[in-house]
């Protein structure tokens, strides 16, 4: 039996990142993570928002292969930072949120078809 390979279109990937970045920015304050975790989340959220917006940039300043690599990097840094901050502060909620967020972002990136339609 053949399985049909599905992937997330690039514009949907960008839209999901636009929705997820503010969540990463606001969550540490809503969940009481503290100043250091808040600063890390805000920085990662701002980077993620910039990446999301770059997908819709008509000038194509960021090549799609670079965008994919940066997405994987942001996801990995989010997971590692979440584990480190959770251990350093003794707050497992930080680890659960950030590692979960990073893992979901990595899954989104792995599921995305990083190509533009012809003529776009």
Q: Given its phi and psi angles, is residue 25 left (phi above 0), alpha (psi -120 to 50 degrees) or beta?
A: alpha
Q: What is the pLDDT of residue 46?
A: 97
Query: Taking the chain (120 residues) in consecutive chunks of 10 residues, what is each chunk's mean pLDDT?
Result: 72 92 96 95 96 76 86 97 96 96 96 73
Chain position carrying tokens 């049909």: 4
Output the pTM of the full model: 0.87
Q: What is the pLDDT of residue 3?
A: 59
| φ and ψ at residue 8, rounded to 5 degrees | -85, 130
Q: What is the pLDDT of residue 114?
A: 84
Task: Give the residue ranges of DSSP H helices in 31-113.
Answer: 35-55, 64-89, 92-111
**Residue 25: which of 51, 49, 55, 53 has the closest Cα?**
49
Q: What is the pLDDT of residue 61?
A: 72
């Amino acid at each position: 039996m053949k399985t049909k390979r599905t992937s997330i279109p690039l514009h949907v990937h960008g839209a999901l990142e636009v929705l997820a970045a503010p969540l990463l920015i606001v969550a540490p304050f809503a969940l009481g993570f503290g100043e250091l975790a808040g600063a890390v989340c805000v920085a990662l959220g701002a980077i993620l928002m910039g990446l999301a917006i770059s997908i819709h940039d008509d000038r194509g300043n960021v090549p799609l292969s670079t965008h994919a690599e940066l997405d994987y990097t942001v996801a990995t840094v989010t997971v590692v930072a979440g584990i480190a901050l959770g251990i350093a502060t003794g707050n497992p909620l930080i680890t659960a949120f950030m590692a979960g967020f990073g893992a979901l972002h990595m899954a989104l990136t792995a599921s995305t078809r990083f190509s533009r339609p012809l003529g776009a």
